[in-house]
Amino acid sequence: MLQQTRVDTVIPYYERFLNYLPTVHDLAHASDDLLLKLWEGLGYYSRVRNMKEAAQQILERHGGQFPSRHEDIARLKGIGPYTAGAISSIAFGLPEPAVDGNVMRVVSRLFEVDYDIGIPSNRKIFQSIMEVLIDPHYPGDFNQAMMDLGSDIESPVNPRPEESPVKDFSAAYQHGTMDRYPIKAPKKRPIPQRLQALIIRNEQGEFLLEKNEEKGLLSGFWHFPLFELQGHSDDSKEAGESAIVFSEQRDVKKWFASTYGLEIDWEENVYPKVQHIFSHRKWTIEILSGLSKKECPNSPHLKWVSVSDFHEYPFAKPQHKMWDAFRQGERIE
């Protein structure tokens, strides 16, 4: 959970997760729907899928006991060099460095390292420096101190180098080059993408939800049916919601109704557009609503769900935003 998320955000998720799944056996056999529901709101959902696979590896390869050797820890699914170093040093006292962005920032300023910290292959340079620096007797304390130094005093914004306990050894501080380090190229802007959401109700007031079984940004989640519209990106596979790219809204309506055997009375209501930014994608979602008298859609991945049961289904952030926009347009409290 801490790989991409702040501690204060993680704590309630961590406590709830352990209440539901207190053992590695529970995690290894948990349903994907439960895992996504427990993780809902944290983002970067591949983390929890990797955790389940790692739990299965622990059961199969290590008799249900978390491995204590660095090599074995690093082989677990979802555990990269940083996490393996943190676990090895903090939990088992092994002199293995934990190199994250905070640590690379500190090291970059200490030695005026002229390598871009945003390039993954350059991480080995910082790793090799940390292997020399790490305290072999207190590796966990050392790693945590370096991480804390980077996140607080040596922070990326408004650093306080004059308060740093290592300022006397910092080349950047001594040479007045703090503003130059670390070297990091600007992030690429997320690619804009235009999508169409279909919010369809039946006569019982239930809403049509779709489970995304494909690989993509919303894999494994339930959401209102989503389709990509032409307009910005030509990389439809990354959208993750439809392999077909439609040119206009009417094409979506025609295709959806005919494919799933639904008779839909489309409404003319106007809803706020939904914006959602992923690390590399910026979605603009347009909402179209309709009413259907058909009981069962011709797809195992579509289901009529009452609002009172929404809480039982894993929803990603875009789904919550679409629902909020729909309620705003419908004046639903």
Alpha-carbon dihedral 25, 40, 103, 98, rounded to 10 degrees: 10
**Which residue type occupies 315?**
F
The Cα–Cα gap between 74 and 68 comes to 10
Tell which CATH architecture fits domain 191-330.
Answer: Alpha-Beta Complex (3.90)
**Which among 143, 135, 53 is positioned nearest to 91, based on CA atoms?**
143
Comparing 129-133, 278-282, 314-318, the range with the smallest average pLDDT is: 278-282
Burial category of 279 from C-beta neighbours within 10 Å (exposed 0-12, middle 13-18, buried 19 and up): exposed
Q: How many CB atoms lie within 10 A of CB 225?
A: 23
- pLDDT exceeds 70 at position 280: yes
| DSSP letter assigned to residue 308 | G
- The pLDDT of residue 239 is 46
Burial category of 317 from C-beta neighbours within 10 Å (exposed 0-12, middle 13-18, buried 19 and up): middle
- The pLDDT of residue 300 is 78
Q: Mean pLDDT throughout 22-28?
A: 98
The Cα–Cα gap between 292 and 186 comes to 48
Domain ranges of the chain: 191-330
Adjacent-strand bridge partners of 276: 283
- The pLDDT of residue 240 is 45
Q: How many CB atoms lie within 10 A of CB 303?
A: 17
Spell out a b/e string for 102-134, using b for 16 or more CB atoms within 10 Å of the CB, else e. bbbbbbbbbbbbebebeeeebbebbbebbeeeb
Q: Residue 147 in contact with residue 98, Cβ under 8 Å?
A: yes
To which residue do tokens 């390292």 refer? 113
Quick one: what percent of the chain has pLDDT higher than 70?
Answer: 92
The phi and psi torsions of 289 (rounded to 5 degrees) equal -110, 155
Per-residue confidence at 270, pLDDT binned at 50, 70, 90? confident
Higher-pLDDT residue of 4 and 12 is 12
The Cα–Cα gap between 312 and 78 comes to 27
- pLDDT exceeds 90 at position 253: no
To which residue do tokens 């005093």 refer? 153
- The pLDDT of residue 231 is 64
Spell out a b/e string for 25-46, using b for 16 or more CB atoms within 10 Å of the CB, else e. eebbebeeeebbbbbbebeebe
Alpha-carbon dihedral 150, 152, 158, 164, rounded to 10 degrees: -70
On average, the pLDDT of the chain sits at 89
Q: pLDDT for 78-133, tens place per residue?
A: 999 999 999 999 999 999 999 999 999 999 999 999 999 999 999 999 999 999 99
For the residues of 204-255, what is the DSSP string, one character each? TS-EEEEE--SSSTTTT-EES-EEEESSS-S-HHHH-S-SSEESSHHHHHHH
